[in-house]
Structure formats: C-alpha cells, structure tokens
A and B are shown apart, each in its own frame.
Chain A
C-alpha cells in the first residue's frame, strides 16, 4: 500500500491498475522496502551543535559510542544531510539561521531535538532571548531529553527515528512523539507546530524573517536567473 506524506493511504487510478497486475505489487513492495531500508540505515547528521549538548554529540561520534556504527556520519553542509540534530539552546538571533538551514536540507529529512534546551528551552525558556523549544518554528520527529542527554540516549533517539521511518513507509501509524515537558515551568508563549491554536500568520512571519535575513555580503551573482 502506498502512503502519502502524512502517512495516509494513497489511491490513484494508475496505482490501482498497477496493483492488479500479477506480481508487480510484490516487486514494488520489495523495492519500496529496500529503499526504506536504505534511507533508514544511512542517516547523515547535520549537527546544529550550539552548546553543551554539542559536546555530548561530539562524544557520541567519538570512539566509545561511535555514530558510524549505525552508518551516521556528521556532515558540515545541510545539503548532504538527512537528520538535523539540534543540540543546544537556540536563541532569537540564531533561530532564523536554524530555520534557513532546515529549509535548505533536501527531502526526505528529519529532525532530532537533543537536550532540554532544544526541546523546551528548559530553564532558559523564560529568558528574553531564548526560543522556547525549536518545535515552535520547525517540525521535530524525535525528542531526546536530558541536560545534556548521555550519548547512548542520543543513540536510542536515532534508533527510534529509524523505527519511525520504517513504520511510516510501511504505512503503519506511528504516534507522534510526545514532547517531554518540564513540570513547574510555564508553557511557551508560542504554540508549537501542529498545535491547533497556532495561527498561519505566525508561520508567515517566521518565514518572512528567514527570507529577509541579510547577513551582509550578498550573493556572488544575483537576479539573472530569478
């Protein structure tokens, strides 16, 4: 069974016709499983390592834990990565950059929020300059709680992500990961992505801020192809 982006069953006349052909669906399913196996076993990581969790991310890629075991290697450019690991606090000044890099990553892509700062802002969540959780501006697939999480917890998170990728491609329902919440602290001002209270104008404002980001310097060539 084919599924679309949101995990729902997908019907199309051509597809139904193909499904009736003897043997073809078997082949397609096998091919699909093979592709799923490939994409879930070769997760190149874009480390958005800003603070303490970045050090634990480095520890995870070092000898004792070794991300390379499950085929994950850190890449420096978002274009060649599949998973963005947001390891550390994201500030208001950094947030548009993070969103821009996330938008630059080619599909299929996933995001892991590593550490409580990335998940909810933790004890910085009430601070004027800290974004209360990265899921207020980009979708997150897996939350890895901890301050900072141990490297093996990051591994567990990557394993969860792999299972999620396989299940979704097989058309199975996966529960959206519950965001761990810190008791006793107020919830963030902004509704998260997927929250029914979230207004479309907020998305637009955030996208606007990203598009109007001017770091200075500009393009090498501009305008001639737009």
Chain B
C-alpha cells in the first residue's frame, strides 16, 4: 500500500466518504427517532420499516427540487458555497487513523494541525453563502458564524494541544498509540485531559453549530440562518455538512481523548466506531434538551471561561510532561 500512496489514499477516501455520507444521512433518521422518543412521539414510522427509508426519500426529493438563484444574489459564490462547505468538512478526515497500523488515508506528520485548519476553513463557505444570498437573515447568520469561529477556534486549538503535549506528536496515529492499553488522555493524567475533553466537545458543538451554540442557524430568530435562500440539494449539502462536522468532531474527540481504537479485548475499528457514535448520540441528546445562548453571552463564555481554562489545562499538561 505504501508503494502506491496516491492509489491507497484515493481508494480509502472514496470508501470513507461513501460510508461517512451514509452514516451522516442515516444519523438524521436516528436523530428524528431519538428526538421523537424524548418528546413522546414516534418519529418517522411510515416510510419503510420504522421509517428507515426516510433519509433516502428526503434525498430523492431534494435532488428533484427546482434550483433557483435569487435575482440579486451573487450567483457564483451562491452556487459554489455548498459543495465547498462539504469539501472542507470532509477534508478533515484525510489524516484520520481508523485502526492500528497503516489504516489512514494520508499519514501526515502534522495531521492534527491539518484537521484543525481545514476544519476551521468551513467558516469561509458559510460566510460566502450568507453574503451571496443577499438576504438579511442569511447575512446576520454569516456574521454570527464568523464571530463564532474566530472566538471558538482559540479554545479548540488550545484543548487539542493537551494530547499533543502529552503524546509528543502532531501525528494522529501517534496520539492514539500513546493512549494504548487504557492510558486514555481523558482519564490519565487526572485533570487536564478530562477538562480538555469536555472543553473540546463544547467547542466542537460551537464549531458545528449545534445547540446550545447554534446561533448562526437560529431557527426562531433567523428563520434558517445562512441557508435561508438555499433549496434542493444545495440545502441538502449544507445540512449534510453540518452532520458530517458533528460526526468528525465526535471521532476526533474519541481518538484524541478516549483512546481511539484502543479498548478491552482486541483493538480495532469497532472500538473507535463505538466511541465515536456514542459521543455523536450524546451531542443529539444535548441538542434536544437545551435552549440556545444569545450571541454575546456565548462569546463571553468563550473568552471568559473557555480560553483561560484551556490555557490552564495546557500549562498543567506541560508541567506533567516535563516533571512526571
């Protein structure tokens, strides 16, 4: 496989994207059922057994919809933003180790930096979409998204420094291997890892625009936020990108703090999937329980609590690394 890195990477990416898209699409079904259980209602039941074919029906519907570009919209930016959004989100998966060994599409030695930087690029398509729509709700949503990304990138990066310091490597595979045999960073060393893990999850919620930090797409205030003017598959791409972002964030959290593929019994992909999907479901749980913060409150939380606490965890982790 290493003789043909391009072939390996390309094939891996193709399989990975297909599988992830499917998982993200069916996680929408899961979320609808899950939310239904939380709200005393059945959720989708009629389309296929237990509503399982609902995402397929949604997809088939979306690709048939008429495609309108609003009259005064910037048509180039308007049309390029949704695929670009999905692309930037998917790019983060390129350096991700799925199982022990060489199970990674592109084994970069600065993998974690790559993931973070390409993940933060997603703000740009979001801003493009909001600006190009020529819609005031969309513009406000885009502004909020930009402000949010600028603020939450800081604690997100700082929390990612904790596993980097503890493992001594930027390579994702090394970080996971450093946690082998149950030495998960969320548990050991006690303190910085656990705090950083919680902060990382919260910041990922903000990055992926999930409640309680979903202010760029606040349905009750901005109708549909940045996607107000989008329809059909373009809207579908944005929607899918949001779910993909959440999914990737859960897998990142699982591998950076919860030991990735490590677990009791044989190590492998199954542990990673289990951990990732559990985190993913946890994010749904949070979403369907909490209300939403106001934009300024949530910036205040970021700068007053998240940033100092994450700095503290980095310091503690560094001291641990040097002296313990």
A residues neighboring B (CB under 8 Å): 34-35, 37-39, 41-42, 62-64, 66, 68-71, 75-77, 79-80, 82, 104, 106-108, 217, 219-226
Contact = CB atoms under 8 A, between A and B. Distances in A.
Given A42-B58, A79-B229, A220-B135, 5 more contacts: A38-B59, A39-B60, A39-B64, A68-B36, A106-B67
Interface in B112-161: 134-136, 139
What's the interface size class on B, roughly?
35 or more
Nearest to A217: B136
A116 to B, nearest CB: 28
B9 interface: no
B198 interface: no
B72 A37 contact: no
Please indicate which of the listed interface residues B64, B68, B134 has the most CB atoms of chain A within 10 Å of its own CB.
B64
Nearest to A61: B41
A79 B136 CA distance: 15
A156 to B, nearest CB: 14
Interface string B148-185: 00000000000000000000000000000000000000
Given A69-B44, A80-B235, A220-B139, A38 B72 contact: no
B61 A225 contact: no
A218 to B, nearest CB: 10
Interface of B: 32, 36, 39-47, 51, 53-54, 56-62, 64-68, 71-75, 134-136, 139, 219, 223-224, 227-232, 235
B72 A225 contact: yes
B57 A71 contact: yes
A65 to B, nearest CB: 8
Given A68-B32, A68-B36, A69-B42, A37 B71 contact: no
B227 A219 contact: no
Given A66-B36, A68-B32, A221-B72, A107 B66 contact: yes
A37 B40 CA distance: 28
Given A38-B64, A108-B65, A77 B228 contact: yes
Contacts of B229: 77, 79
Contacts, number: 115
26 contacts: A37-B57, A37-B60, A38-B57, A39-B60, A39-B64, A41-B57, A62-B41, A63-B40, A64-B41, A68-B41, A68-B43, A71-B51, A75-B224, A76-B223, A77-B223, A79-B224, A80-B230, A82-B61, A104-B68, A106-B66, A106-B68, A107-B65, A220-B139, A225-B72, A225-B73, A225-B74
A176 to B, nearest CB: 23
A76 B219 contact: yes
A223 B71 CA distance: 9
Contacts of B71: 225-226
Contacts of A35: 60, 64
Nearest to B231: A79
A78 B65 CA distance: 12
A40 to B, nearest CB: 8
A69 B231 CA distance: 23
A34 B47 CA distance: 13
B235 to A, nearest CB: 5
Contacts of A220: 72, 134-136, 139
Contacts of B224: 75-77, 79-80
A80 B223 CA distance: 11
